């Protein structure tokens, strides 16, 4: 205890370990005549280390990186599950149409059983997944035009969706994948999607400004 060693947590405001170090250093400087004695506004502390030792990362959050990794893995598992359900529903619906158009009768009772399976798969799909699949055609149509028009209050914001090359060819700024499988479409929207929409893999904003420099 006679050694001038103090336990401090400088990152914490009003840490009593830092206060103890300051008061001991001040007393030593005064005893050597290097500093004039003055009344201190800080209350005297009788400890030599921080009494409330709390780390920057609380003990309950020591595994915070593992929790982040677990959350990402759980989300990817959810995406795979939803994509599989969407794919199976699409395949069952296609099977139902083919059987209806079959030239010879397939048998009795198949229609009701197939409809029940389709309804079961549809019920297992989340509301978000259904919305993403339902708007896919509209999304492709919107980004296949020359301009994207967005109305904000009384103003129309127009964004060009194509570049014109030196040879006169139009090159789209946003190229959507040419998927036909519902599972692939849903998995792409849940994992990547267009810029400005969750999970923001392509960026937070839908478009960059024309004069904006690329990210270094």
pTM, two decimals, is 0.69
d(C-alpha 25, C-alpha 19), whole Å: 10
Helix axes 182-191, 64-100, angle to 10 degrees: 160
The token pair that represents 153 in the structure block:
């209050």
Check residue 213 and give its pLDDT.
66
Q: What is the mean pLDDT of the chain?
A: 87
Domain ranges in the chain are 1-56, 64-191
The average pLDDT across 167-181 equals: 92
The dihedral through the CA atoms of 52, 53, 57, 60 has a sign that is: negative
Do residues 169 and 200 touch, judged by C-beta distance below 8 A?
A: no
How, if at all, do strands 155-160 and 162-164 pair?
Answer: unpaired
pLDDT in tens, 61-102: 788 899 999 999 999 999 999 999 999 999 999 999 888 877
Please enumerate, as own/partner, the contacts of 140-147 that have beta carbons within 8 Å and a separation of 24 or more: 140/176, 143/172, 143/174, 143/176, 143/194, 144/172, 146/170
């Amino acid at each position: 205890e006679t050694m001038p060693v103090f336990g401090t947590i400088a990152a914490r405001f009003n840490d009593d370990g830092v206060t103890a170090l300051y008061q001991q250093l001040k007393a030593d400087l005064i005893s050597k005549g290097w500093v004039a004695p003055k009344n201190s506004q800080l209350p005297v502390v009788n400890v030599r280390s921080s009494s409330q030792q709390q780390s920057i990362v609380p003990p309950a959050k020591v595994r915070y990186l593992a929790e982040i990794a677990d959350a990402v893995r759980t989300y990817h598992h959810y995406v795979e599950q939803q994509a599989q359900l969407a794919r199976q529903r699409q395949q069952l619906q296609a099977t139902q149409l083919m059987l209806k158009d079959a030239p010879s009768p397939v048998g009795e009772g198949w229609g009701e059983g197939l409809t029940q399976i389709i309804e079961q798969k549809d019920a297992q799909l989340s509301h978000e997944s259904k919305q993403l699949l339902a708007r896919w055609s509209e999304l492709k149509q919107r980004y296949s035009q020359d301009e994207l028009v967005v109305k904000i209050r009384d103003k129309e914001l127009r964004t060009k969706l194509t570049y014109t090359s030196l040879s006169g060819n139009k090159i789209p700024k946003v190229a959507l994948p040419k998927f036909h499988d519902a599972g692939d479409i849903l998995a792409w929207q849940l994992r990547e999607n267009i810029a400005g929409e969750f999970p923001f893999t392509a960026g937070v904003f839908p478009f960059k400004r024309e004069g904006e420099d690329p990210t270094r």
